[in-house]
C-alpha cells in the first residue's frame, strides 16, 4: 500500500541545442499493490441448526491471498449454498465392512449368498438376504450386535432399489455383490435426518451473518 511510480530523465539525455533536461523527476499519485485472492478461509464456522431457524452464531468467511493475508480491499461477492449430504460424513479411510486385504471377497460372498464359480474364474453371484448377511457378519468379521443394529447396517448397504423423488437411494431388501464390495472398500453412510431439499438464504441483507436453512420439501 502507498507506493508510487518515479519518472526520471537521464543525465545523458537531451543535450541537443546545448540544453540538458537531465535530473528532472516526477512521481505518480500513491496507489496500492495487492496480492490476488487465492483462497476462502472460514474463520467462524457454522454450528448445528434446526431447519427453519437462524444460525445462532455469525458465520465469517474471509478472502485471503497466497501468503494468508486478509484481502481487505477485494470487492468479490461470496455466495453461500447448502452442499450437503443426506447422510452423515464418514471418517477418512473408514470402511463399513473391514476385511483383510488378503481375503477373496467373491469367495466370501458366494459362501453365504449361494452362486457358483465357473471354470474360467468368473462368478455367478446371487444376493444376500438379511439372515445370510447376519451370518456373514458373525462368522467372517466376528461382529455380533442387536438385530436392530444389524438391520441399520443392512439398510445402509442396500441401495439397489433405485432413487426416489428426492434422489435418495432406496432399498430392494437384498445386498448385491457390488454393494457388498463397495462397503468393503469405503464407508457407506446411512440416510440421515436432513434428507430432502433445502434452501439457504440471508435473512437480512445488512447482516451477512444471519443465514437460515429452510426446508423446501
What digits encode the pLDDT tens for the residues 181-207?
988 887 765 444 333 344 444 445 555
Q: What is the mean pLDDT of the chain?
A: 75
Per-residue DSSP letter, 18: G
Contact 159, 176 (CB under 8 A): no
Per-residue DSSP letter, 31: B
Confidence (pLDDT) at 42: 87
Is 175 a residue whose pLDDT tops 90? yes
Is 214 a residue whose pLDDT tops 70? no
Confidence (pLDDT) at 162: 82
List the beta bridge partners of residue 42: 61
Mean pLDDT, range 138-146, rounded to an integer = 78
Please report which confidence band the pLDDT of residue 26 belongs to, taking 50, 70 and 90 as the band edges. Answer: confident
Mean pLDDT, range 144-157, rounded to an integer = 79
Looking at per-residue pLDDT, the higher value among 13 and 107 belongs to: 107
Contact 58, 45 (CB under 8 A): no
Distance CA 39, CA 27 (A): 34
Contact 151, 137 (CB under 8 A): no
Confidence (pLDDT) at 83: 54
H-only helix segments in the chain: 105-113, 130-140, 147-157, 177-185
Place of cell 423446501: 216
Please report which confidence band the pLDDT of residue 103 belongs to, taking 50, 70 and 90 as the band edges. Answer: confident
CA atoms within 13 A on the CB side of 39: 8
Distance CA 157, CA 151 (A): 10
List the beta bridge partners of residue 124: 116
Q: What SS3 state is found at 63?
A: strand
Mean pLDDT, range 118-144, rounded to an integer = 88
Amino acid at each position: 500500500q502507498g507506493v508510487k511510480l518515479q519518472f526520471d530523465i537521464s543525465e545523458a539525455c537531451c543535450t541537443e541545442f546545448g540544453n540538458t533536461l537531465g535530473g528532472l523527476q516526477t512521481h505518480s499519485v500513491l496507489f496500492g499493490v495487492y496480492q490476488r485472492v487465492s483462497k476462502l478461509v472460514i474463520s467462524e464456522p457454522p454450528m448445528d441448526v434446526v431447519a427453519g431457524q437462524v444460525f445462532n452464531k455469525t458465520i465469517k468467511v474471509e478472502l485471503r491471498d497466497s501468503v494468508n493475508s486478509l484481502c481487505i480491499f477485494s470487492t468479490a461477492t461470496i455466495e453461500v449454498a447448502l452442499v450437503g449430504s443426506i447422510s452423515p460424513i464418514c471418517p477418512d479411510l473408514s470402511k463399513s465392512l473391514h476385511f483383510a486385504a488378503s481375503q477373496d471377497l467373491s469367495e466370501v460372498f458366494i459362501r453365504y449368498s449361494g452362486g457358483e464359480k465357473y471354470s474360467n474364474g468368473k462368478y455367478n453371484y446371487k444376493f444376500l438376504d438379511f439372515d445370510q448377511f447376519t451370518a456373514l457378519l458373525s462368522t467372517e468379521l466376528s461382529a455380533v450386535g442387536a438385530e436392530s443394529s444389524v438391520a441399520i447396517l443392512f439398510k445402509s448397504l442396500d441401495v439397489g432399489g433405485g432413487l426416489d423423488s428426492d434422489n435418495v437411494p432406496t432399498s430392494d431388501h437384498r445386498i448385491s455383490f457390488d454393494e457388498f464390495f463397495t462397503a468393503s472398500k469405503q464407508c457407506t453412510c446411512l440416510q440421515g435426518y436432513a434428507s430432502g431439499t433445502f434452501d439457504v438464504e440471508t435473512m437480512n441483507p445488512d447482516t451477512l451473518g444471519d443465514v437460515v436453512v429452510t426446508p423446501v420439501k
